[in-house]
Amino acid sequence: MLADERRLVRQEGDWAARRAAFRWPRPHRFNIAEACCDSWAWAAPEREAILHLDADGNRESWSYAKLKHASDRLANAFRARGLRQGDRVAVLLAQAPEVMLTHFAALKLGAVVLPLFTLFGSEALAYRLADSGARIVVTDPENLDKVEALRADLPDLREIYVTGPVAAPLRAFWEEIAAAAPQLAPVDTLAEDPAVMIYTSGTTGPPKGVLHAHRFLLGHLPSMECAHEGFPQPGDRGWTPADWAWIGGLMDMAMPCLYYGIPQVSHRMRRFDPEAAYALIREEGVRNVFLPPTALKLMRQAPAPQGAMLRSISSGGESLGADMLDWARGALGVVPNEIYGQTECNLSLVSQAGAMELRPGTTGRAVPGFDVAVLGPGGAEVAEGELGEIAVRRGTPVMFLRYWNKPEQTAAKFQGDWMRSGDLGRCEDGYFTFVARDDDVITSSGYRIGPSEIENCLTGHPDVVMAAAVGRPDPVRTEIVVAHVVLRDGVSLTPELEAELTMRVREKVSPHVAPRAMVQAESLPMTTTGKIMRRELRQQGG
């Protein structure tokens, strides 16, 4: 099947017509590895799938045929070590071809892949590995010690594969591939069979294992096509600095690129460097990027190269404001399209500059194939423009199967036909505005205040790199708004600048949401997916 035959969304007509014409593919049997690797290995074996750039600048090109042959052998190695359908395989690796090889090998056996961040400490790893009952861990020499230190407390863990040289009983990743049989009989999976389990970031409680079926890849495709303006197009080439352990990096860019036969760049940045990002985009001919808002904000602080480079940008995780969109239009020649979703049901809202009016501050409209609404406490839709909880109707392929070992919490996530997101927002004229996580809302003098508008306004000031707004207990107002700001190098939070920033929020947003206190911070606490952990700031006293 050719790339253009895989498109799902009609790219002409108004938004209503595109939604009306949309139909979900609903195959009975489906496997992510077959769709993203093997099908292309048969149809176009020498087509480039991944260009990997290592930390030393070395380049390695991976064709679809090369991915298939190596993942077939790795699957046989896993099978020989006892891996069976339904078993969990943890991937503790930074962005690199080994990540995809492990995914594909496990998925070809009907196993469940468990992506893990290399930034995780021992407690985070121990919780996820124990809770999931992972049978195999694939990691690198840098992270091996963390896994070995936990092994005695992980009775389900049978094998540890390492991408560097090791001695038995550890398994050498590349040696196992070289020694394994080349011919594989993959498991014939159903579209409903479990495929991937991604743990929530834990910003609102203990992490939960979100179990997804093979079909969930299909659920990401409409947003990918819209956010990247008719993706794929001839000459497209993808990249994201986001770790492939995050659903954003994995499913908002990496896997869809492979599905559509579009080459992508793989490169690990130990710390995001905006100038290095600009250089990579230009030197490697990248045209399509997924950039979290944090990355965009840092790129704004560095001089952008002259001349158009990118064809499309998607961004999600925290909302962008009008100032950020205007900067990108002028500096990058492309307006970022915003995407919205959750680990449980990703990519349900999108903005598309080429298909709709962009309304800064909103996350766009419901993606074709998705029914999205704003509900009140009783489950009924609220009136136009009223604050409520964003919810997505059951029936989309991207909807999760269940929380791992948490049936009560799975049931609590739904109300009738709706999956409740826990995110507060409003909808006007079909455009959705994310306001805050329910527990991020600030209650002040009777008002319920979401932090996003305040933060977007503050980061629109040239001296503010990042901002977070939280509530601090107050005996009179219940809470007051406190803004934590990271300023550009060489700038201090003087009384004059604080007054200027406060007035900016008063004038551009509303007097009732203006910060009554401001704190300069060296950095803000972030989840591994780049979201601000406002809860930590509140626990520090606001």
Instruction: Count CA atoms within 13 Å of residue 228 on its CB side.
Output: 29
φ and ψ at residue 484, rounded to 5 degrees: -100, 125
CATH number, domain 27-214: 3.40.50.12780
Give me the residue spans of the domains in the chain. 27-214, 441-539
The predicted structure's pLDDT at residue 529: 66
Query: Percentage of the chain with pLDDT > 70?
Result: 97
Task: Show the low-confidence residues of the chain (pLDDT under 50).
Answer: 202-204
422: which 2 tokens? 């826990």
CA gap 458, 323 in Å, rounded: 10
What CA–CA distance (Å, rounded) separates 77 from 173?
9
Cis omega before residue 169 (within 30°)? yes
The CATH class of 441-539 is alpha beta
- Residue bearing tokens 């993706």: 231
Over residues 346-390, the pLDDT tens digits come to 999 999 999 999 998 899 999 999 999 999 998 999 999 999 999
The Cβ of residue 446 has, within 10 Å, a number of other Cβ atoms equal to: 8
Q: Is 455 helix (H, G, I), strand (E, B) or coil?
A: helix
d(CA 516, CA 478): 13
Residues with Cβ within 8 Å of 293's Cβ and at least 6 positions away in sequence, in order, are 315, 316, 317, 318, 319, 320, 324, 530
